[in-house]
Amino acid sequence: MKKISRRSFLLNTGLAVGATTTAATLSSFVPIKSIKKYDGKKLNIALCGLGNYAGILADGFATSAYCNLAGIITGHPAKAEQWKKQYNIPDKNIYNYENFDTIAQNKDIDVVYVVLPNSMHKEYTIRAAQAGKHVICEKPMATSVEDCEAMIAACKKAGVQLAIGYRLHYEPYNLELKRLGQEKVFGPVRLIEASLGYNVTDANQWRLHKALSGGGPLMNVGIYCVQCSRYVTGEEPVAVTAQFGPVTNATLFTEVEASVMWQLEFPGGAVANCSSTYNCNVDRVFVSADQGQFELSPAISYGPFVGKTSNGPLNFPDINQQTAQLDGMGKLILANQPLPNHITGEEGLKDLKIMEAIYASARTGKKIGLV
């Protein structure tokens, strides 16, 4: 059987993958719509880390109205040269990890977008903030609650904004899931089933090394199931129980879990049954409420998405999620307006608290309270 790389699987099937405290915040948030063409100043962003996802973000920059790919930070000279040529990046905007801090003197860079392995998010978010740059950090925000808190504190001290790359907060199908759940269109939500995973075969990828990833599929793709459960209900979970799946490949899964299942309990009575895995390809969300159901499959990935409700199919435009996220964040930063809570560091911290509780429950077999 032909092996499929993670990148090609994500692009071909839509798998991959990128909440709030109140229903009003998420329900009122809508995707950026181009009423008239924006031709003003663009936000200049430097990508820190040039892995696979950085290339996908570069495609998003190509159609962004508000953001410009202006710089790069990489430890690989060959990559730096390639990106310089491909994206017309000037030498003065190209940095490595040793001279990165000198970016503080570069007035042509407004934001650093951290796209490094998870365990490096804290260091480079803090260094970017200390250089006076706004920060967008990919999910998960960090590998521990303590690191998240340190990142938030550093950005506040430096007077810069910190955003987390929750691209699905700008995606029409997922915005509709939020609306249907939080506005109780089919009555109170009772059950959420969310699963996301893909088949891992490459033993060399950094996501299988806990020192870099902080964990297995939960940290990588399971965070989207946590997110979806929260933004469908508009509530914060009060308790979690969890179980690790079997170690299906002792060579691959020596440091991180192969799969994990968990159950979140919400104060309004809803229960979310979720799973994340490196053993198979899955991407779905199903929600049952008192008077009906709604679902997406593919659901919480790159799309294209397919959805339906008890009233019929869902039909929304397929968008470039990275472009929508960049424009949604960039427009506000350019206007010196605060970012909404649902994409800030505080949101990333909430997810880490829940994921740490999921791991604790899976290790101990006990229900973990979240309040």
Give 218's DSSP letter. I
Say whether 172-317+345-369 and 31-167 share the same fold: no
Identity of the amino acid at 15: L
Q: Which of 95, 166, 224, 231 is catalytic?
A: 224
Instruction: Provide the pLDDT for residue 29.
Output: 40
Give me the residue label for tokens 């560091």: 345
pLDDT digits (tens, 9 = 90+) for 317-362: 999 999 999 999 999 999 999 999 999 999 999 999 999 999 999 9
pLDDT at 39: 87
Helix, strand or coil, per DSSP, at residue 71: strand
**By C-alpha distance, which of 323, 276, 277, 287 is closest to 302?**
323
113's tokens: 């977008």
The structure's pTM equals 0.90
Per-residue confidence (pLDDT) for residue 13, from 0 to 100: 34
pLDDT digits (tens, 9 = 90+) for 89-120: 999 999 999 999 999 999 999 999 999 999 99
Give the pLDDT of residue 37: 82
* Chain centre to alpha carbon of residue 1: 31
Tens of pLDDT, residue by residue over 20-53, are 333 333 333 444 444 468 889 999 999 999 999 9
pLDDT at 47: 98
pLDDT (mean) for 263-284: 98
pLDDT band, residue 17 (cuts 50/70/90): very low
Residue 371: predicted pLDDT:
83
**pLDDT > 80? residue 248:** yes
Please indicate whether residue 124 is annotated as part of the active site: no
| CATH architecture of the domain with range 172-317+345-369 | 2-Layer Sandwich (3.30)
Q: What is the share, in percent, of the chain residues with pLDDT greater than 70? A: 90
Residue with token string 């229900």: 367
| Secondary structure (3-state) at 11 | helix
- For 70, 344, 366, the CA distances from 130, given in Å and listed in that order, are 19, 18, 41
Q: Are strands 282-289 and 67-73 parallel, antiparallel or unpaired?
A: unpaired
Dihedral of the CA atoms 251, 255, 261, 264 (nearest 10)? -170
| Per-residue pLDDT at 70 exceeds 70 | yes
Average pLDDT value for residue range 219-231: 98
Q: Which tens digits make up the pLDDT trace of 149-204?
A: 999 999 999 999 999 999 999 999 999 999 999 999 999 999 999 999 999 999 99
The torsion angles phi and psi of 239, rounded to 5 degrees, stand at -160, 155
Within 265-320, residue ranges assigned H as helices are: none
- State the alpha helices, DSSP H only, in 40-199: 52-62, 77-87, 121-130, 145-158, 172-182
Nearest to 321 by CA among 9, 20, 32, 23: 32
Sorting pLDDT into bands at 50, 70 and 90, what band is 260?
A: very high
- Among the listed residues 139, 166, 170, 302, the single catalytic one is 139
Domain boundaries, the chain: 31-167, 172-317+345-369
Q: Where are the beta strands (DSSP E) in the chain?
A: 43-48, 67-73, 94-95, 111-114, 134-137, 162-164, 189-197, 239-244, 259-265, 271-277, 282-289, 292-296, 307-309, 312-314, 368-369
**d(C-alpha 51, C-alpha 62), whole Å:** 17
> Do residues 339 and 202 lie in contact, with contact meaning Cβ atoms separated by under 8 Å?
no
Mean pLDDT of 130-139: 98
173 given a catalytic annotation: no
What CATH number labels 31-167?
3.40.50.720
